[in-house]
Amino acid sequence: MELYGLTARAVRDRIVAGELTAEAAARACLERIAAVEGKVHAFVSVDAEGALRRAKEVDAALARGERPGALCGIPIALKDNLCTAGTPTTCSSKILANYVPPYNATVVERVLAAGAVPIGKTNLDEFAMGSSTENSAFGTTRNPWDLERVPGGSSGGSAAAVAAGEAVMALGSDTGGSIRQPASFCGVVGLKPTYGRVSRYGLVAFASSLDQIGPIAKDVADAALLLGVIAAHDPRDSTSVPEPVPDYVGQLEADIRGRKVGLPREFFIEGMDPEVEGAVRRAVEVLAGQGAEVMEVSLPHSRIDVKDGQLSAYAVAAYYVIATAEASSNLARYDGAHYGHRTAVSHLQFAHGRDVPIEDATPLVEMFSRSRAEGFGAEVKRRILLGTYALSSGYYDAYYLKASKVRSLIRRDFDEAFERADAIACPTSPTAAFRVGERADDPLQMYMGDVFTISCNLAGIPGIAVPCGFTTGGLPIGLQLLGRPFDELGLLQLARAYERVTDHHQRRPPL
């Protein structure tokens, strides 16, 4: 098997055993990128020089007899909204096209300390706002299974890179499904941890109460391996929780007999692709065949209604008020004055400390508005406008406050469901990957594609997407498992139990 087809554990073990060098592993990924990146466009930037330098450092440390880290020599891709010292972090936006952070995100520090070799920064929907990786200032990422289809979003670059073998594993971020949905579309494993399980320090914020960083990998064990590295309390992140971190890998192979798996009646809806529903129900039957007890549960405030062929959902409505309001606040810092893109206006000389005649001075507001108009794409502008409106005087109570109340009800529904069930099983997305451009002109249709993933973020609970089948057209389908807060281990065990007796995760796209 080519190196790009190996799991992260296999690559690491060969490096530690001396059968492979970290440099050779990095070169293999760089060669794979050279071969397929022109088709996939998973990366915003590839740091070949830095990757090879880092790989040689890992090899030198092993030669000195130093203890190898958990990710020793593994080439890893980083979503380009994670700050990386000395290399650009663009969020796939023109406004940050030339921004180079002076520090690493905590998760980047942790993967480096574990011996990983960052290979490049992956493409995303601008500022993580999107479900298809079409909203990037640097071009659309393609799904390795069908280059005419999207890889999902916003972590589409990370999922596509892993699926295409351009990286052995990757980090993404998930605000409303942005790890799980692209993992489902690309036939890989994606895990969104509990809010507070992984530090957000150094993650460029979209919606601070929803964002979470997590692993994207070829199988469940690799996801467990990476989660074990990045999960830890961080005093630099006030929302990071000092919760003990289990040995995810060591406890992965558990017997699931007696585990209770809930099927939410609200998530099996009219209009869902029958192939998706069939694959998910068959996956649940596989879990039942291993001794899990399947039961129906209800999440009434995550209800999805279909009327006259149109979908509506409380969770989606609440999410797109809360997320856009927080985005409006977070993105106010990109004003053209502090860092990032500034409009080219010849007489804005105040930036250089020179006096400007008052009659020649351009008002600051013009500089701010022109910088933001030039730097932000259409979807980001749309969400800033929606969020600013929701927070504006006279509308706060009608929109943001009401959405926050719905969010509390959604969390209560999950708490009640988890009194009966250990985990909840449902589709990751109503459909498999859709065609590039198919939903680009219909934001509402795009937003409704997140109906099964958004509730997880609103409730702050963990969720994992695992390959569970393929459509007749050869597109991957993902099973989603949702769990109690900080029970990532339980989800990983269930997902691994499914994976042990199926082979969907072993299939690779015919690139």
Please determine, for residue 348, whether its predicted confidence score (pLDDT) is greater than 60.
no
User: What is the structure's pLDDT at 312?
Assistant: 60
Handedness of CA 503, 212, 442, 42 (dihedral sign): negative
Tell me the C-alpha to C-alpha distance, in Å, between residue 18 and each of 11, 56, 58, 65, 232. 11, 14, 12, 12, 30
468 φ, ψ to 5°? -135, 10
Of 502, 494, 492, the residue nearest 468 (C-alpha): 502
Structure-derived torsion over alpha carbons of residues 483, 487, 488, 493, reported in degrees to the nearest 10: -90
* Residue bearing tokens 């690493």: 104
CA–CA gap between residue 160 and residue 168 (Å, rounded): 11
User: What is the structure's pLDDT at 358?
Assistant: 45
**Paired residues of 169 in beta bridges:** 76
pLDDT tens for each residue of 364-392: 778 888 889 999 999 999 999 999 999 99
Structure-derived torsion over alpha carbons of residues 69, 73, 79, 81, reported in degrees to the nearest 10: 60
- The topology (CATH level 3) of 3-259 is Amidase signature (AS) enzymes (3.90.1300)
Please determine, for residue 343, whether its predicted confidence score (pLDDT) is greater than 60.
yes
User: What is the structure's pLDDT at 347?
Assistant: 45
| Cβ atoms within 10 Å of 288's Cβ, excluding its own | 13
| Average pLDDT of the segment spanning 432-461 | 91
Q: CB–CB of 114/397 below 8 Å?
A: no
Cα maximum dimension of the chain: 79
Catalytic positions, please?
Answer: 79, 154, 178
User: What is the structure's pLDDT at 307?
Assistant: 61
User: What is the structure's pLDDT at 164?
Assistant: 98
Confidence of residue 352 (pLDDT cuts 50, 70, 90): very low
Please determine, for residue 325, whether its predicted confidence score (pLDDT) is greater than 60.
yes
pLDDT tens for each residue of 492-504: 999 999 999 999 9
CA–CA gap between residue 229 and residue 109 (Å, rounded): 10
Q: Which amino acid is at 458?
A: L
Confidence of residue 362 (pLDDT cuts 50, 70, 90): low
Higher pLDDT residue, 97 or 309? 97
| Average pLDDT of the segment spanning 162-177 | 98
Angle of helix 314-330 relative to helix 402-417, nearest 10 degrees? 120
| Average pLDDT of the segment spanning 188-212 | 98
- Cα angle 103, 108, 110 (rounded to 5 degrees) comes to 115
Give Cβ neighbours of residue 465 (< 8 Å, ≥ 6 apart).
179, 180, 181, 183, 184, 189, 190, 191, 428, 478, 479, 480
Please determine, for residue 351, whether its predicted confidence score (pLDDT) is greater than 90.
no
Please determine, for residue 360, whether its predicted confidence score (pLDDT) is greater than 80.
no
User: What is the structure's pLDDT at 453?
Assistant: 97
Q: CB–CB of 342/350 below 8 Å?
A: no
CA–CA gap between residue 146 and residue 239 (Å, rounded): 39
CA 494 to chain centre: 21
User: What is the structure's pLDDT at 447?
Assistant: 81
| CA-derived radius of gyration, the chain | 22
Q: CB–CB of 440/134 below 8 Å?
A: yes
CA–CA gap between residue 4 and residue 511 (Å, rounded): 12
* Residue bearing tokens 């969010």: 407
Helix (H, G, I), strand (E, B) or coil at 338: coil
Q: What is the mean pLDDT of the chain?
A: 93
pLDDT tens for each residue of 228-251: 999 999 999 999 999 999 999 999
pLDDT tens for each residue of 401-427: 999 999 999 999 999 999 999 999 999
Ordered by start, the domain boundaries in the chain are 3-259, 313-404
Please determine, for residue 346, whether its predicted confidence score (pLDDT) is greater than 70.
no
Q: CB–CB of 276/477 below 8 Å?
A: yes
Confidence of residue 454 (pLDDT cuts 50, 70, 90): very high
User: What is the structure's pLDDT at 173?
Assistant: 98
Of 230, 238, 233, 232, the residue nearest 214 (C-alpha): 230
Please determine, for residue 441, whether its predicted confidence score (pLDDT) is greater than 80.
yes
pLDDT tens for each residue of 34-44: 999 999 999 99
User: What is the structure's pLDDT at 445?
Assistant: 81
Confidence of residue 309 (pLDDT cuts 50, 70, 90): low
The three-state DSSP-derived secondary structure of 230-265 is: HECCCCCCCCCCCCCCCCCCCCCCCCCCCCEEEEEH
User: What is the structure's pLDDT at 446?
Assistant: 87
Please determine, for residue 207, whether its predicted confidence score (pLDDT) is greater than 90.
yes
pLDDT tens for each residue of 253-305: 999 999 999 999 999 887 789 999 999 999 999 999 999 999 999 999 988 77
| Average pLDDT of the segment spanning 438-449 | 84
Give Cβ neighbours of residue 25 (< 8 Å, ≥ 6 apart).
3, 11, 15, 55, 73, 74, 75, 117, 168
